Every structure is written in C-alpha cells, then in structure tokens.
C-alpha cells in the first residue's frame, strides 16, 4: 500500500513509469501456453450448435454470425466466429486536479495478450466475468454519488470479433483523497499522453476512455498561445487546436454528418444473423484451432494462462498479422479536418459506425498490385515523412487477443478525397470537435477511431 497522498506531478518522470511497469511485469510474470481448443479444461462445445463456452457459464462464448451486405457498391456474404458476452463491462478512470494539473489514476495492467509486459490501464477495467471478484474503485463508477461525471458512454468493441458488445466508458472527477492501492498511480494526463506515443504502453481500454474527455478538460487551452510562429508545424498545431473547439467552422454541419450516417444505416442493406458455430461452413477445428479452411484471417486457439500464479484457461484470438489504422487529416480554412469512413461491421449494434480513413491488415496486400489495395494504403506507403504527424502502436484487448497490435497513424494530406462508390467506403471530412461531440453518445466512433481521437487529443497537450 502506497501513501494516500499522490506524489506531485513533477516527481514522476516517464522513466519512473517505465520502471514501474517493468517491475510490475517482473512481479507478475505471464505465461501463456497453447493447448488444443477442443481439449480446453473447463470449456466445452455444445454438441447441437458447436458453441464453445465455459462449463460454469459466464466469461464469454464463441459462436458465429452470418453477414450479408451490399455496401459501398460491393456485395459480401460471409460467416465467421464471434465472441458473445453480456455487455456489462465498466472501463473507468478517476480524475483529479492536483495543483491545477489534471491527473488520472492509472493501473499497471498485466494481461495474457500483452507481449511487452505491463501497460497502463484505466482505474477500472471490469468485465462481467470478474464482477464476482472485488474490483478496486468500481464503486466510484457504479455509484458516483454527487461527484462530477466528466463522461459516461457505452462504447462499442471491434465489430469484426465481438457481437454487439459494449463497455461503459466513464470518467469521474474526485475532489477528496483517494487511497492509492498497490499497482495504481496518479499520473498527469499529459504524461499518459506522452507515454501513448511510445507504443504498446497505454492499453486500448485506457485510450477508449480517454477519447471521451471533453476538450475543455484536456488542459490544452494555454497551448494555443505558443503558436504564433509561422512554420508548418505551428500551423498544423494551430489548426488542430481550432478543430477541437465545439463551434469551429466545419466542412459539413453536424446534422449533415448525422444524416449521412442515418442514410448509410437505413439503406446500407446489411443483414446480420447469429448462426450456430457448426454452421459457419468455412470454419472448422483443425489441430486444436478454430480456423478458416482457405484463408488465414485469424484463428481461435486454446490458451492455458498463468498470470503470476493465477491460472485459468480460455480461448484467445490470434490475428494473422498486425493492423494499420490511419486518420488522414487536412487543413481546411485553418481548421484541421479528419477523414472518416462509414464502416459496416457485423457486430455493431447499429449497422455502421464512423471508422478511420484506412483500417486494414497491410501484409494481406504484400503480394498484390497497388490497384488491389484498400483506399489510401498506397498514399500511406508513398507518404513523405513530413506528412506523418503522429505514429504509435496500440495493443488490442489483451484479455482475448494474443499479442495483436496495430500501427496508428495521423497523416496529413492536401487531397480532397471525399465521396464514395469504389467499394471501399464513403468518406467525409469532420472536425475533431464534431468527433468529440458525437463521441458523447453510443454507436458513433468505432474503437479504432476512438484510439485515433485519443492520439489527436494527446497532440493538443504535448509540448
């Protein structure tokens, strides 16, 4: 147990945090051993449906969905395994003003899918499966009392792997002293953002919650004044800060953006049904793994996990290769705009969400000619380094993905690029403020966009 009085902001260096994460990883060593999915201790497949679930209920079930879609001019009909789980999860961050500096209570989180050891997680990262355990600090979020709620919104998980799964993302401000338990630390928000840039250090749950922070509490207000210089970087930063303001001049009004998404959802013609896993024809369990008969998109494997002596078994998702997630940004009249795509994934609650400009697995296209690339992959590969304003890596949910990580990029362009119809998407320029406004509500920004929004916010407060 550490002292209840948090250390002043200037006493915790980035190096301290890295050392703390390393010490935690050393104290709680992770060992994940692959075992056959069909021989997973405590789990079994339903003979009638094929669904793989824990014998004592809870946690999650591996089932399947069938998706038939005619969107963006192309028809797809496919089925694949998905994770089904009650959407009772809480991802919460406690926030506190210490000496005029916004701080967040972060935990050093060790998870089976974290290749690099411990990462910074939110104060609470509680899913239904662990609600029977005592989760520290959970009561601040389930029963906030009179405390100020800074954000509270149920956000989606990745719609390609999770069926209509949402977690409550919530930020609560405390004014009173809070006991800081072992494994937790108050960190300046600015420091968390700085560590985000290091890659695979701030976990995706933390990014998702932080993306819900209103611009007004970022502590970035003073930063705009340091921006009088005329160089290109300063112009970019000025345009970014202007873009965060709620009333910034936008290419499209918010009602117009809402209408665009409403039309996509209504006429997008996507039909999704949960089906029996055994009816997902192209998938089968082979050599102890649930795998596609033809392509190696991803596999579901059995894992025997030892987390510092805490042992259990579960299925985990093993992706074929790391992902790439990109926001193209453009200065339109002094206001930075972000290019969003309407993304249709079978697991979304409401058909389509606002996704990044580009979201793909680049290695799938290694052997293919550029005209087979998803849109903007070619532009990214040919980008001048000066166009890349931010870059990091974020690990996918490490409680179920096995060492999956994506490269997140903010890339400037001067191309127009709006529109649709080539089978890859339908794109619109929006301001950061519009993204933040929509992000107060469920079913707008997908997980990848929220992580990128968190990156943009971090650029607002960086030195």
Residues that bind a second copy (CB under 8 A): 86-90, 142, 144, 149-154, 168, 170, 255-256, 258-259, 262-263, 265-267, 271, 349-350, 440-443
**Contact indicator for 95, 172 with CB cutoff of 8 Å:** yes
Q: What is the DSSP string of 142-179?
A: H--TTSEEEEEEEEE--TTTBSS-EEEEEEEE--S---
**Considering the complex, what minimum distance in angstroms separates the CB of residue 167 from a second copy?**
8
**CB nearer to a second copy: pick between 225 and 255:** 255
**Considering the complex, what minimum distance in angstroms separates the CB of residue 123 from a second copy?**
16
**CB nearer to a second copy: pick between 67 and 185:** 67
Q: With H, G, I as helix, E, B as strand and everything else as coil, classify residue 266.
A: helix
Q: Encode burial over 143-152: b for 16+ CB neighbours within 10 A, e otherwise.
A: ebeebeebbe
* Residue 22 tokens, joined: 């390393």
**Considering the complex, what minimum distance in angstroms separates the CB of residue 259 from a second copy?**
4
Phi, psi of 321 (to 5 degrees): -165, 170
**CB nearer to a second copy: pick between 133 and 293:** 133
**Contact indicator for 214, 432 with CB cutoff of 8 Å:** no
**Considering the complex, what minimum distance in angstroms separates the CB of residue 107 from a second copy?**
20
Dihedral sign (CA 324, 457, 211, 69): negative
**CB nearer to a second copy: pick between 170 and 210:** 170
CA distances from 149 to 96, 102, 146, 153, 289 (A): 12, 14, 9, 11, 44
**CB nearer to a second copy: pick between 210 and 317:** 210
Question: What element of type H or E holds 235?
Answer: helix 232-244
- Tokens 């112009």 locate to 235
**CB nearer to a second copy: pick between 90 and 319:** 90
**Considering the complex, what minimum distance in angstroms separates the CB of residue 462 from a second copy?**
26
**Considering the complex, what minimum distance in angstroms separates the CB of residue 241 from a second copy?**
23
**CB nearer to a second copy: pick between 154 and 289:** 154
**Considering the complex, what minimum distance in angstroms separates the CB of residue 156 from a second copy?**
11
User: Rounded to an integer, what distance in angstroms lies between the CA atom of residue 340 and that of residue 388?
Assistant: 17
CB atoms closer than 10 angstroms to residue 223: 18
């Amino acid at each position: 147990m550490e002292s209840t009085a948090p250390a002043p902001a200037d006493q915790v260096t980035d190096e301290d945090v890295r050392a703390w994460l390393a010490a935690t990883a050393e104290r709680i060593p992770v060992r994940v051993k692959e075992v056959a999915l069909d021989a997973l201790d405590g789990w079994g497949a339903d003979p009638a449906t094929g669904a793989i679930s824990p014998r004592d209920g809870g946690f999650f079930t591996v089932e399947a969905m069938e998706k038939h879609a005619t969107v963006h001019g192309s028809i797809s009909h496919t089925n694949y395994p998905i994770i089904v789980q009650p959407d009772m999860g809480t991802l919460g961050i406690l926030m506190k003003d210490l000496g005029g500096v916004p701080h967040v209570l972060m935990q050093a989180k060790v998870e089976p899918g974290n290749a690099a050891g411990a990462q910074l997680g939110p104060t609470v990262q509680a899913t239904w499966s662990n609600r029977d355990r005592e989760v520290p600090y959970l009561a601040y979020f389930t029963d906030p009392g009179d405390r100020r709620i800074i954000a509270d919104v149920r956000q989606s998980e990745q719609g390609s792997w999770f069926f209509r799964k949402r977690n409550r993302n919530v930020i609560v401000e405390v004014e009173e002293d809070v006991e800081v338990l072992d494994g937790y630390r108050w960190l300046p928000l600015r420091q968390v953002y700085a560590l985000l840039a290091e890659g695979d250090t701030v976990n995706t749950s933390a990014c998702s919650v932080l993306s819900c922070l209103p611009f007004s509490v970022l502590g970035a207000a003073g930063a705009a004044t340091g921006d009088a210089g005329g160089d290109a970087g300063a112009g970019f930063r000025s345009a970014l800060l202007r873009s965060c303001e709620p009333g910034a001049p936008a290419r499209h009004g918010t009602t117009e953006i809402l209408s665009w998404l409403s039309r996509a959802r209504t006429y997008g013609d996507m039909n999704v049904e949960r089906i029996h896993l055994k009816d997902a024809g192209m998938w089968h369990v082979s050599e102890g793994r649930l795998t596609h008969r033809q392509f190696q998109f991803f596999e579901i494997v059995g894992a025997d996990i030892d987390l510092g002596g805490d042992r259990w078994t579960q299925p985990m998702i093993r992706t074929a290769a790391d992902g790439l997630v990109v926001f193209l940004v453009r200065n339109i009249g002094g206001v930075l705009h972000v290019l969003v795509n309407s993304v249709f994934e079978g697991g979304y609650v409401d058909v389509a969400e606002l996704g990044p400009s580009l979201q793909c697995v680049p290695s799938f296209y290694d052997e293919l000619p550029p005209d087979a690339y998803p849109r903007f992959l070619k532009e990214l590969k040919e980008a001048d380094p000066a166009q890349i304003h931010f870059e990091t890596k974020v690990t996918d949910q490490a409680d179920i993905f096995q060492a999956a990580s994506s490269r997140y990029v903010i890339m400037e362009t001067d191309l127009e690029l709006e529109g649709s119809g080539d089978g890859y998407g339908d794109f619109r320029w929006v301001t950061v403020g519009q993204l933040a406004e929509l992000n107060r509500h469920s079913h707008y920004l997908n997980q990848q966009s929220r992580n990128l929004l968190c990156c943009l916010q971090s650029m607002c407060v960086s030195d």
